[in-house]
Amino acid sequence: MTAVPLILFGAAAVRIPLVAIGLLQYLTPVMHFVIGVAVYDEVMPPGRWAGFALVWVALAVFTVEALRHRRRQLLLAATPTA
């Protein structure tokens, strides 16, 4: 049962950019979270909120650093060398 979706995912993963795959890897759990809280009235104690916030703060830090690194690499590549 689970082999078919995994084979299809593997076939699709080589055809789309890794950025899109990465975005999907974060979007799916967030959609599950929103459905659980909004639709099924999932109880969210403060500990879960803290964990959720820590994950997103870490992702924000990682994203900012990746963007800064990319910008630095582009500036270095554009700088003429003597």
How sure is the predictor about 82, in pLDDT bands with cuts at 50, 70 and 90? low
Mean pLDDT of 5-10: 92
How sure is the predictor about 18, in pLDDT bands with cuts at 50, 70 and 90? confident
Do 35 and 2 lie in a common domain?
Answer: yes
Q: What is the pLDDT of residues 26-75, one digit of tens each?
A: 888 889 989 999 999 999 999 999 998 998 898 889 889 988 999 999 99
Do 38 and 3 lie in a common domain?
Answer: yes
**How many structural domains is the chain composed of?**
2
Do 65 and 31 lie in a common domain?
Answer: no
Q: What is the pLDDT of residue 22?
A: 81
pTM for this model (two decimals)? 0.62
Q: Which domain holds residue 1?
A: 1-42
Do 48 and 61 lie in a common domain?
Answer: yes
Do 54 and 29 lie in a common domain?
Answer: no
Residues 82 and 77: their CA atoms lie apart, in Å, by 13
Do 4 and 35 lie in a common domain?
Answer: yes
Do 4 and 31 lie in a common domain?
Answer: yes
